[in-house]
Structure 1
Amino acid sequence: MTVTDTTPTQDARRVPFRVSGSVATGSILQPLNSSMIAIAIVGIAAQFGPSSGIAWVISALYIATAVTAPMAGKLGSLLGARRVYLGGLALVALGSIAGLLAPSVGWLIFSRILVGIGTATQYPNAMTMIRGYAEKYDAQPRTAITTLAICSQAVVALGPTLGGLLVGAFGWQSIMWINLPIIAFSALAVVRFADVGFVGGSSVGHRQLLHSLDLAGVLLFLVLVSSTMLFLLSSTSEPLWWLLPVWALALAAFVQWEGRAPEPFIDVRALTRNRALGATLARTLLTYTAFYCVFFGVPQWLQYSRGMSATEAGLTMLPVAVVGIGSTMLASRIYRRHGARRTLAVGTCALLVGGLLLASVERSTAPIVVLLLVAAVLGIPNGFNNIGNQNLISSVTSVEEVGTAIGMYRTVQYIGANLSAVVLQATAGHIIGDDGLHRTGWFIAAAGVVLLVGVLTSRNMRDSRSSQVSAV
């Protein structure tokens, strides 16, 4: 199943902001919690000691979210998207309180797992609620998807700035309690505006629920994703080579089981048939690997090579967030008028230019204005690539499938985040200096070239179901 390169210029009725805005509120929790920790980790290590467990405070959330996101979308289609969304908010609240009271690193890791599971529910089920409303009231979800993208993806770049300010003023615990007012506001907004008439779900018994969830498939997927991410994390120091045969066996078993399951957790046969979805997920993996190289690499370089404090480094990254929000809004208009190919072409070209700037600017001696301009350029790809890829996923999946598909999109994103750690280790080492950032910039530029060639030559952006495209 493929999509066209262009979309109709005539606008249908839009999903109202009271709906898209309310379901988007909770989607900022995952990017905030995944990004603010990069600033807070120094304070956490100072309190609990720089043990090996500190690294798992970061990675625990990524692993928990990567595994849970597709299942959260499936649960939403079975039990109702709003119900699962609100249940996820409750888990985030529980994990945040546990983190505030954590007496040890192990307890803090456990709290981050709870937060990761909870934050995995918001985005897939927000997309399901948006698509459900659009289909029921004959509205186009494109503008709502833009709102969702701004509230989730652009906040990733804002996280270091906000985290730096919070940690500098209130200590590392502030990144936990800041979740609580956001959760309260999101729950009230969703209960008030996301009425139960369009969020799906049905009354299912426990036996039917267990059958529909395909627990064997979920377990195999857990082993597959966990072994992938654990190996990527270990490869930066001492690779756990024994995980490779575990990964290979899990992959083979998962594909075989899902190919025969009557109600598969992830329909691998549909992925094989739906080339547009598979291509979009592959493109997303490389895009986010490059993005997280910027996201993790530049703040470390600012502190190591420029001698900036956490707050100063966070503020220097602010243009990435500001431009990211603006580029998301502009990308939505370009997608509406010109389609996915041109939208993604702009995003990949900006990624290429940003990589070349990192590879060529005299960074340690460059004026702060130059650094801010470079950061601004690096904010462009995030908006365009997210709008293009997410609208493509929405256009090639049904309302029943979109939650699981977006969950897979998020899983690929988090695998890219861990893959970026491997890239940074290979290009820059543990302490990122000028030469290391120079090599990282060349990797980002090379990723931009590969993505641009793929976008321009893709056959999956031509022929499509016009009914789906006109709704995007």
Structure 2
Amino acid sequence: MTEGFDRRLIAPLVLGAALNPVNSSMIAVALVPIGAALDAVPSDTAWLVSALYLATATGQPVVGRLVDRHGPRRLYLAGALLVGVAGLIGMLATSLGVLVTARVLLGFGTCAGYPAAMYLIRSESRRTGVDRPGPVLTLLTVAAQTIVVIGPALGGLLIAGGGWRTVFAINIPLALACLLLGLRLPRTEPPPGPRQPLDLPGIALFASALTTLMLFLMSPSVADLWLAGLALASGAAFAVRELRTTSPFIDLRVLGGNRPLINTFLRTVCAQTITYAFLYGFTLWLEAGRHLSASAAGLVLLPMSLVAIAASTLTGRTTRLRAVLLTGAITQIGACALLLVLGDDSPIWLLVLVAAACGLPQGLNNLANQNAVYHQADPARIGASAGLLRTFTYLGAMVSAAAYGAFFHRDPGAGGLHNFAWFLLAVAVVMLALVVADRSLLRSGPGHADPEADEARRRFSGARGGRPVRGDG
């Protein structure tokens, strides 16, 4: 562990950051039972995935900014309370619409954990004078991946013991634990100077662009092209708004001045599209195409996250981010290609092998991108940057949900899986191209100067006495 880090903070930071992964992974094995109970097809149950990520994609930058402004404690406790309420609503729900509402609340409630963790890691580095956060960042990543290991198996066991409602009910004790542990977080004073208001129009336009885009992607057709047009119009209006306001929701000028950070966010979208596609699409096929039970499907996924944990642990301290990402991108292509050899009668050992193969790029790519953000972002905006990293993570999750809803809608068997695999291969090739083209990765990490990122950080903090010129990105 990093020297001098307050160990009392570890438990609340890890549990808070794990709330989203546990809800992401448990729902994977619950989609088929929920669809059977509520007479919903895959394109309908996909909204249980998309709803959570629409909420988090919008909420993460907002909460990240609030964490930078007010400190982590209040936001952490409020998020935990909302998670408990969402768990209660989901446990009592009688329709898919109410379940989607519960997932939206879960999305907003789980927004605070990760920005709070990044804020406190940076704060502890300043307090101790030791700027070596690698072990703590690795712990967060490994903890999240451990939850992904446990999530599907835990979800399968909960469903076997008490039905699909238990994957919502489990959030009630988790929220109580967060509330108790969150009391350990330090109280922080707000930074000096006037507070800029939240960019409510920008938030609304951003949410509108994401929602209408998802509505189109979930069931693309010529008749619904107006949704794509509305998404583009909302996106354009959002860009205009953010470029003109003095307190933007996401400062596009900040992103435009830090190309290494933009490249990291784009890689994150590609990597997470494939990660979540395996988690949801592969699991759906295991249950609906290969006809495994929810608990058996959860066990098949165990090797995926075990390998991911091992990869993250072994590479967590390296500063050779480009080498790690190149390895991750190449093995990601191989993992996607393996899906093409699967059939509805494939033996269990082959399913386990494919799951394990997917875990290697997952462990390499996720931690390397997280470490890149830590070193590329403006230190004064680490909470907002961490929130934005999660926003791009959830964009990848939403793309994967739209894809599996589309490819498995009519054919949950091998045919749908193979079409799904070709889509993932295309995304994996784009990811590899982004890594190869990004020369800034050669200079990323402690002790490696990155002129582009350094120049961006100087612009962020060089005006107004070292305080940020514009709103949080």
Q: Any residues of structure 2 matched to 1:43-192 within 5 Å, and which? A: 43-50=33-40, 54-139=45-130, 140-156=132-148, 158-192=150-184
Query: Which shows bigger deviation, 181-190 or 307-316?
Result: 181-190
Query: Which shows bigger deviation, 40-49 or 60-69?
Result: 40-49
Q: 2:236 aligns with which of 229, 249, 252?
A: 252
> Which amino acid counterpart does residue 184 of structure 1 have in structure 2?
L
- Look up the match of 2:21: 31
Q: Any residues of structure 2 matched to 1:435-454 within 5 Å, and which? A: 435-454=415-434
Query: Which shows bigger deviation, 385-394 or 117-126?
Result: 117-126
CA distance in 1, matches of 2:288, 2:38: 22
Shift of 1:83: 1.5
Structure 1 residues 268, 445: CA separation in 2 closer, same or farther (over 3 Å shift)? Answer: same
Q: Deviations over 1:329-359 (max 9, x none)?
A: 11203x24xx210111121122122122222
- Look up the match of 2:467: none
- Look up the match of 2:454: none
Assess if the C-alpha contact under 8 Å between 1:85 and 1:126 holds in 2.
no
Q: Deviations over 1:18-53 (max 9, x none)?
A: 434431211211122223223223443455443886
Structure 1 residues 268, 319: CA separation in 2 closer, same or farther (over 3 Å shift)? Answer: same
> Which amino acid counterpart does residue 165 of structure 1 have in structure 2?
L
Q: 1:224 aligns with which of 209, 215, 229?
A: 209
Assess if the C-alpha contact under 8 Å between 1:229 and 1:415 holds in 2.
no
Assess if the C-alpha contact under 8 Å between 1:231 and 1:239 holds in 2.
no
Q: Deviations over 1:161-206 (max 9, x none)?
A: 22111111111121122112222223333322x3235xx64489xx
CA distance in 2, matches of 1:397, 1:78: 17
Shift of 1:273: 0.7
Q: Any residues of structure 2 matched to 1:288-327 within 5 Å, and which? A: 288-327=272-311
Structure 1 residues 381, 463: CA separation in 2 closer, same or farther (over 3 Å shift)? Answer: closer
- Look up the match of 1:401: 381
Assess if the C-alpha contact under 8 Å between 2:321 and 2:442 holds in 1.
no
Shift of 1:365: 4.3
Shift of 1:376: 1.0
RMSD across aligned positions (CA): 2.8
Query: Which shows bigger deviation, 245-254 or 65-74?
Result: 245-254
> Which amino acid counterpart does residue 458 of structure 1 have in structure 2?
D
Assess if the C-alpha contact under 8 Å between 1:427 and 1:437 holds in 2.
yes
CA distance in 1, matches of 2:201, 2:54: 19
> Which amino acid counterpart does residue 189 of structure 1 have in structure 2?
L
TM-score by length of 1: 0.86
Identical residues among aligned pairs (%) = 36
Whether 1:265 aligns to 2:249 is: yes
Structure 1 residues 172, 466: CA separation in 2 closer, same or farther (over 3 Å shift)? Answer: closer
Whether 1:351 aligns to 2:351 is: no
> Which amino acid counterpart does residue 86 of structure 1 have in structure 2?
L
Shift of 1:428: 5.3
Assess if the C-alpha contact under 8 Å between 1:34 and 1:62 holds in 2.
no
CA distance in 1, matches of 2:49, 2:238: 27
CA distance in 1, matches of 2:285, 2:238: 40
- Look up the match of 1:431: 411
CA distance in 2, matches of 1:255, 1:355: 34
> Which amino acid counterpart does residue 419 of structure 1 have in structure 2?
V
- Look up the match of 1:5: none
Structure 1 residues 150, 308: CA separation in 2 closer, same or farther (over 3 Å shift)? Answer: same
CA distance in 2, matches of 1:71, 1:434: 41
Report how many residues are paired.
448
CA distance in 2, matches of 1:70, 1:448: 26
Q: Deviations over 1:278-327 (max 9, x none)?
A: 11111111111222221222222222332211111111111112212222
Shift of 1:364: 3.8
Q: Deviations over 1:409-454 (max 9, x none)?
A: 2222222222123434565553332243334334434433332232
Assess if the C-alpha contact under 8 Å between 1:80 and 1:202 holds in 2.
no
Assess if the C-alpha contact under 8 Å between 1:154 and 1:382 holds in 2.
no
Shift of 1:362: 4.8
Q: Any residues of structure 2 matched to 1:327-346 within 5 Å, and which? A: 327-333=311-317, 335-336=318-319, 339-346=320-327
Is there any run of 5+ residues in structure 1 with no aligned partner, and where? 1-10
CA distance in 2, matches of 1:400, 1:302: 45
Shift of 1:117: 0.7
Is there any run of 5+ residues in structure 2 with no aligned partner, and where? 451-473
Q: Deviations over 1:62-118 (max 9, x none)?
A: 211111111010011111112111111111111112222334443333222211110
Structure 1 residues 442, 104: CA separation in 2 closer, same or farther (over 3 Å shift)? Answer: closer
CA distance in 2, matches of 1:358, 1:50: 26
- Look up the match of 1:213: 198
Shift of 1:457: 3.0
CA distance in 1, matches of 2:311, 2:207: 35
Assess if the C-alpha contact under 8 Å between 1:288 and 1:416 holds in 2.
yes
Structure 1 residues 20, 294: CA separation in 2 closer, same or farther (over 3 Å shift)? Answer: same
TM-score by length of 2: 0.86
Shift of 1:260: 2.2
CA distance in 2, matches of 1:56, 1:426: 12
> Which amino acid counterpart does residue 111 of structure 1 have in structure 2?
A
Structure 1 residues 468, 218: CA separation in 2 closer, same or farther (over 3 Å shift)? Answer: farther
Assess if the C-alpha contact under 8 Å between 2:272 and 2:396 holds in 1.
yes
> Which amino acid counterpart does residue 456 of structure 1 have in structure 2?
V
Q: 2:260 aligns with which of 267, 270, 276?
A: 276
CA distance in 1, matches of 2:403, 2:109: 29
Moved segments of 4+, more than 6 Å: 467-470
Structure 1 residues 447, 108: CA separation in 2 closer, same or farther (over 3 Å shift)? Answer: closer
Assess if the C-alpha contact under 8 Å between 2:32 and 2:287 holds in 1.
no
